[in-house]
Amino acid sequence: MASYEVESECFAWPQTVNSEKGSSTANKLWLLNRLDSATSGVILAAATEALAIETRSLFQRRHIHKVYLALVFGLLPVTHQTWHDRLAVQKAGGKIRTDVAGNIPAESQVRVLRSKRGGDVPLTLLQLEPKTGRSHQLRVQCAKRHLPIVGDATYGNFRANREFAKVTGNDRLFLHSSETSFRYSFGGKDFHFAARAELPKEFEAVF
């Protein structure tokens, strides 16, 4: 059974290498990024601690390109925007709450992919590229502009969420990490890495 080592942020589990003697060695997998519990998509891990340290440093220096897709209530009047905000992030009791009134800079590139005007509340599929990595950044930035993410139980439009779930039978958070890419050097060589996660069927069903 796998266990999680908090200090090194890795999962470890035994692997039997000699069934007669019963000896075993520990396999480890280092977690590189996290998603909100209700967000789907790309999560990265490294097989060695040295590679994990190198990649985590890229996250800290904002050298990682991330693309999210979000289904939101409402319409954006233009197809491209850059959102700049200053957020306040509070962490207490194992919970995170982010507000738009703060001093932590947050920036995201935004592009409209699809819109649907039918029904009581129009829907828009957005491509979001955060340039900063603040907790709940995309959810709060969308909500601030009256474009709450469908199914967001913290910052969303609760009435619209209920109606959407009633009609579609789906109450998930419609935020998806679709792509993560970066360049890195390791073992004296340069690499380019990209991981993609297909758009979930729940998104496609809306349109």
Q: What domains can you pick out in the chain, each with its CATH number? A: 65-181+195-206 (3.30.2350.10)
Residue 110 contacts residue 126 (beta carbons within 8 Å): yes
Task: Report the pLDDT averaged over residues 160-178.
Answer: 96
Q: What is the percentage of the chain residues whose pLDDT exceeds 90?
A: 73
**Exposure pattern of 77-92 as b/e (b: 16+ CB <10 Å)?**
eeeeeebebebebeee
End-to-end Cα distance, the chain: 41
Task: Report the pLDDT averaged over residues 70-81.
Answer: 96
Q: Name residue 157's amino acid.
A: N
Contacts of 20 (CB under 8 A, 6+ apart): none
How far apart are alpha carbons 181 and 196 in whole angstroms? 9
Q: Per-residue pLDDT tens for 2-45?
A: 788 888 888 888 876 655 655 555 689 999 998 988 899 999 99
* pLDDT grade for 93, boundaries at 50, 70 and 90: confident
